[in-house]
Chain A
């Protein structure tokens, strides 16, 4: 047992913290969001130079991952991304898609896609969800029909985060079976600009971009995973994303609690800092109990995301995400409440933290989704 980060991980966290303190003030964050792609090209390049885009890219393709995923290093980065509220597609491209490709692509596919993710030249988004399926990765009505050397994909993909800004999309589509079957789901790489791809780009409430994507007989020659493996790869990918989201949540609840505590020390009413009032002290103390719970489960998720046993991994991620969604709700609500009127303004960072924290707990499964999965896997 060892709760320490390695020296390299500590240095990485420190340099990211310094970078974000300088480059990610609230005005600079707004500026990044108003760029053409909804995030800052300069930050993305800086991430590439710091090496963080390569963390989930296997060593063979110029990256730093030695096995399936790299959840511990990713945890360090995602915690800082959470604190900074960075809007760059780090989770989607450098974690989700890097892992999906590494877990499923053949050598040539990996060689053609992964170096671009590592050096920042390629943005990739996963188009896995569909309307009517909520978080169910097996709910795939989009079809893929064999056509010559490739496939023709038709269907509609929902809430594809950074989908309109991506150069390439990883699309789940059904090669056989019924809509909710686990088998028969394959993964394809599609050019976002390919003929038949229609993209409806929208902002999200937490400052990101998300697209509704319609595929009308779109040609893809890049089959990443066949119908026997697509579902497994997706679930593994989303488990690794789940661990990353836990770390992002940790960064946010920690920052929200610090910010709230600071506010209680400076805001005066009745002639004293409001932090002198026991009713408020106890509320922050309870927020801290939540923060420690999130810290614990974020570490747990990262460590358990490494294991090969899919059911054990899923159970651990489901437990972590359930606990974290629960604790996040308490921290969010009380951070706003203790800031009083200021908590509901756009001006303070509090509301932005709360919006991201709320939405990340509805990304790749919410409290009820993960609790239901845990129930399935719980030992009698």
Chain B
């Protein structure tokens, strides 16, 4: 047993670190580190910088223009990017729909879609959840009816998707749609790629509890989708959906982001005062930080173990659910402690101060402005990508055999 990184991994970390230090634009890292809003343009710009370096798709095999990195290298890359204040790559294209197209798509689909995902020329979003289908995803109702007209084979899509992340920035959406009601519900689902500019697609914002527009409802009203946009076989979409969820789950540890946020919490505590001394020197507060740092240490080893198992050939399995529960509980605890560190200055809220170009006065220390918003936003982590209760169901069924 050896938990230390290899010499190659250390060299790789240095390579990533110096690249990110040199190329990550200051306006982007500042927005991330100071908890400001990131624009579509900023996200795309960073992705294109990575693309120019050949790092546009860290998780892809080389044959599709990916890096061919090992799981450990991907972890190191994520870690270094997060610590430096780089945004997380939008996962819906390169980490979610792309693996499905690679494995189940046809040649035309691979050539049409993958290069544009790699170069971030097209922004993707996800159409899974519906108002009546959250944890019980397979009960989804949005219909796609196959037809034929003078323009060829096509589907007509009707229904509604919800909790769609950043769809207002997206060019394309991948959707689970119902194409049959005859067999059991999992066997009547298909996987469809839909152009967001299609007539009949309407995006309506959902405003989060901290006043941010991050997610949407999307309405589909007689949307015509060419049949060539069906991935794999009709009514086999559930298989592809589960394959995609496996990929989504492999990236749950997010060590770099946790480490960045914990460091922010320490830095705030060093600047806040308690009884004339830095809050950081208060033994009780310091112990709270230590408890979280220790949990983060445990998470790092758990995440490395998951990655290592994958490198030995294991598929992302139910063990990822354990990491998801542990990691999302931790991110919430770190965010909450950062907010607690700010004391009364967690309270003032200036919506305009969420933008990096805000030139006005802050009602309190600038570092306090985004803390409450982040804390409230963090509630989503234990809900999305399979709520933590669903993860416990997976653990009890797949691992414990209950």
Residues of A within 8 A of B (CB): 1-5, 72, 261, 264-265, 275-276, 278, 281-282, 284-286, 288-289, 292-293, 295-297, 299-300, 302-303, 319, 322-323, 371-372, 374-375, 378, 380
Contacts and interface: CB of A to CB of B under 8 A. Distances in A.
Given A261-B402, A303-B1, A378-B286, A285 B392 contact: yes
Max chain B C-beta neighbours (<10 A), residue from A4, A5, A293: A293
Contact of A296 (B2, B9, B298): B298
B389 A282 contact: yes
10 contacts: A264-B402, A281-B393, A281-B402, A286-B392, A292-B302, A295-B305, A300-B298, A302-B1, A303-B4, A322-B290
Given A261-B402, A278-B393, A285-B400, A299 B297 contact: no
A374 B2 contact: no
B322 interface: yes
Given A289-B322, A375-B290, A300 B301 contact: yes
B1 A2 contact: yes
B180 to A, nearest CB: 30
B1 A4 contact: yes
Given A289-B325, A292-B322, A323-B295, A378 B289 contact: yes
Contact of B400 (A284, A292, A299, A319): A284
Given A323-B298, A380-B266, A282 B1 contact: no
Interface in B1-46: 1-6, 9
Contacts of B257: none
A375 B295 contact: no
The 4 closest A-B pairs by CB, nearest first: A296-B301, A281-B396, A285-B392, A285-B395
Nearest to A261: B400
A306 B326 CA distance: 28
Given A1-B304, A380-B280, 20 more contacts: A1-B2, A1-B72, A3-B3, A3-B304, A72-B1, A265-B401, A275-B396, A284-B396, A297-B297, A299-B3, A300-B3, A300-B298, A303-B4, A322-B294, A323-B295, A323-B298, A371-B291, A371-B294, A375-B283, A378-B290
B326 A289 contact: yes
Contacts of A1: 2-6, 9, 72, 304, 308
A281 B322 CA distance: 14
Nearest to B286: A375
A319 B325 CA distance: 20
Contacts of B295: 293, 323
B402 A284 contact: yes
Nearest to A291: B322
Contacts of B305: 3, 295-296
Contact of B291 (A265, A281, A284, A322): A322
Interface in B298-328: 298, 301-302, 304-305, 308-309, 319, 322, 325-326
B270 interface: yes
B310 to A, nearest CB: 12
Contacts of A284: 396, 400, 402
A348 to B, nearest CB: 19
Nearest to A286: B392
Contacts of B309: 3
Nearest to A292: B322
B1 A5 contact: yes
Contacts of A302: 1
A39 to B, nearest CB: 29
Contacts of A380: 266, 270, 280
Contacts of A292: 302, 319, 322, 326
Contact of A2 (B2, B287, B392, B401): B2
B400 A281 contact: yes
B234 interface: no
Interface in B238-296: 266, 270, 280, 283, 286-287, 289-291, 293-295
B399 interface: yes
Nearest to B304: A1
Contact of A297 (B301, B326, B402): B301
Interface in B198-222: none
A292 B2 CA distance: 18
Nearest to B269: A380
Contacts of A319: 293-294, 297
Given A1-B9, A72-B1, A380-B266, A288 B395 contact: yes
Max chain B C-beta neighbours (<10 A), residue from A261, A292, A323: A292
A264 B402 CA distance: 8
A297 B322 CA distance: 15
A9 to B, nearest CB: 8
A294 B290 CA distance: 17
A3 B308 contact: yes
B393 A3 contact: no
A3 B1 contact: yes
Nearest to B323: A292
Nearest to B311: A1
Contact of A374 (B4, B290, B389): B290
B41 to A, nearest CB: 36
B402 A275 contact: yes
A265 B397 CA distance: 12
A293 B393 CA distance: 19
A82 B400 CA distance: 21
Contacts of B283: 375
B396 to A, nearest CB: 4
Nearest to B402: A275
A288 B286 contact: no
Contact of A288 (B5, B294, B322, B389): B322
B249 to A, nearest CB: 15
Max chain B C-beta neighbours (<10 A), residue from A1, A265, A297, A372: A1
B72 to A, nearest CB: 6
Nearest to A4: B1
A374 B400 CA distance: 34
Interface in B374-390: 389
A145 to B, nearest CB: 38
Contacts of B325: 285-286, 289
